[in-house]
Amino acid sequence: MAFDLEQSQIRFNTAGYSCWRSGMKYSHNWQHKMLTDQDLWVIMEGHGQIELRDGPAELCSGRCIWMRPSHSYAVEQDPENPLKIHWFHFDTLDRQGQVQYPGLDSIPEYFHGGGSMNVMLMARTLFRVFKMQQVSQGRAVSERRNALLAQILKSLLMMALYEMRPGRPATSELPEAEIAQNAAWYLDEVTDQITPVSQLAERFHVSRNRFTRIFREYWGITPQDYQINSRMNQAKHLLESTDLSISNIAMELGYADHYFFARQFKQKVGITPGKFREKRNDFNSKDISENTGE
């Protein structure tokens, strides 16, 4: 029976985010890696090469590699441009719950194309959900968590196949509104760092000046200001929903100096992070008292 991803079930196993060491051509774990389950790589940054069954393939931002069990893969990177990779281990099951492996004739190991931005965002989202579930449930693996992760992973696989199929428009051919929307979606997800405008423009295959113009005309603010606003929104969420210290929140958002984070927060929000949390806690306490009649 031919493999059909739409009719198959996904059993999510685990996930990770690997930042390879700069200055090194090889990773000890990936000189010759023999897999026991299926492994999807989404390359976020860097440049390298992988030896597949059909020959060598380039590794760079937005490329996807779907590796299969019982095959040895050799990977090397450009020491000056280290790889950053989201990876997901999983199994594909038929309707009877039996493990099945897609042949290279139905699904190749390598995907590439101009419309890979959505795939990268989905990979980041899947990994964040995986980490959040780990924190909330410890090491316990629940059926509910696995079902959610499997559903997202299957959506990612389907998106990868759709984005890379022949006939899809290259990123440079996307309408300007779609460039602005996809860029904002990306910046809302990547709140733990500041992405240079030149790098954003490169992702969408347009010049820096054109990207800035497209973004500003659509959103009314510069990409730099949008990034800061996204980080502040995430900061408010963390202050409201977690007990993380202000210094740890600054670290989560990629700030090397938590004093600078606090100054920027006050500049944008109007009050310090501590006052924001205090006011929110006072509001919650008052709301509880009103509801309980105390």
Q: Which domains does the chain have, with CATH numbers?
A: 5-168 (2.60.120.280), 173-286 (1.10.10.60)
pLDDT of residue 201: 87
The secondary structure of the chain in percent helix, strand, coil, rounded to multiples of 5, reads 50, 20, 30
pLDDT tens per residue across span 156-201: 888 777 655 544 444 444 578 778 887 887 888 778 888 899 888 8
What pLDDT, in 10s, does the model give residues 2-31?
A: 678 888 899 999 999 888 888 888 876 666
User: Is the whole model's pTM more than 0.85, yes or no?
Assistant: no
pLDDT of residue 222: 94
Question: Average pLDDT, stretch 225-247?
Answer: 89
Listed residue (109, 113, 123) closest to 44, CA to CA: 123
Kindly report the average pLDDT of the chain as a whole number. Answer: 81
In the chain, the percentage of residues whose pLDDT exceeds 90 is 26
Question: Tell me, what amino acid is at 115?
Answer: G
Model confidence pLDDT, tens digit, residues 104-144: 777 888 886 545 667 788 888 888 888 776 655 554 456 77
Higher-pLDDT residue of 119 and 247 is 247
Ramachandran assignment for 254, one of left (phi > 0), alpha (psi -120 to 50 degrees), beta (any other): left
